[in-house]
Amino acid sequence: MSKLNFDEYAEQCAYVEWFAYQYPELKELLTLGSIGVDVGLKKMLRLKKMGYENYFPDLVLFYPAVVYNVQKCALFIEMKSKTGKLNDGQRQKIILLSHLGYYAAKANCAEEAINITRAYLHDYKSTDRLFD
């Protein structure tokens, strides 16, 4: 794993740990949106046959929220290291998801991902019932 990838990995792990502590009742709704690792050609071809698509953001929170007075179905976060940049495919996927009504953003560290999540879940209360 390169230093850049390790930095991204460490930031993402820190964010996921924070999320599980901050929102324990939602932690099972936060999942990987992409694999983010080199799996080799054979496994990638197999994943493609199974429906894998490139450039999806790293994390997805499947919880609806109202953001800036607009209902969103899910939050997508593309994690990067502090100096990481989106490639064209990632940029286009974030734009597409945003146009489709999802909340999609890039975070260059765990702190940015935390701030994005807090903005997304600003009206959330732990007493909210997930299932009635």
Distance separating the N- and C-terminal Cα atoms of the chain: 44
Establish if 39 belongs to a structural domain: yes
From the CA atom positions of the chain, what is the Rg in Å?
15
Residue type, 114: I
Closest residue by Cα to residue 116 from 69, 71, 70, 60: 60
Q: pLDDT tens digits, residue range 78-117?
A: 999 889 999 999 999 999 999 999 999 999 999 999 999 9
Can you give the CATH number for the domain in which 71 is found?
Answer: 3.40.1350.10
In a domain, 70, yes or no: yes
- Domain contains 131: no
Identify which has the larger pLDDT, 127 or 58. Answer: 58
What is the rounded average pLDDT of the residues 5-32? 93
Residue 67 backbone phi and psi in degrees, to 5: -125, 120
Taking the C-alpha atoms of residue 109 and residue 57, their distance in angstroms, rounded to an integer, is: 14
Q: What CA–CA distance (Å, rounded) separates 39 from 45?
A: 10
pTM of the model: 0.86
In a domain, 125, yes or no: no
Angle at 99 between CA 58 and CA 11, to 5 degrees: 20
DSSP element (H, E) containing 67: strand 65-67
Query: Which residue range(s) make up the domain with 50?
Result: 3-120
**Strand bridging mode 103-107 / 75-79:** parallel
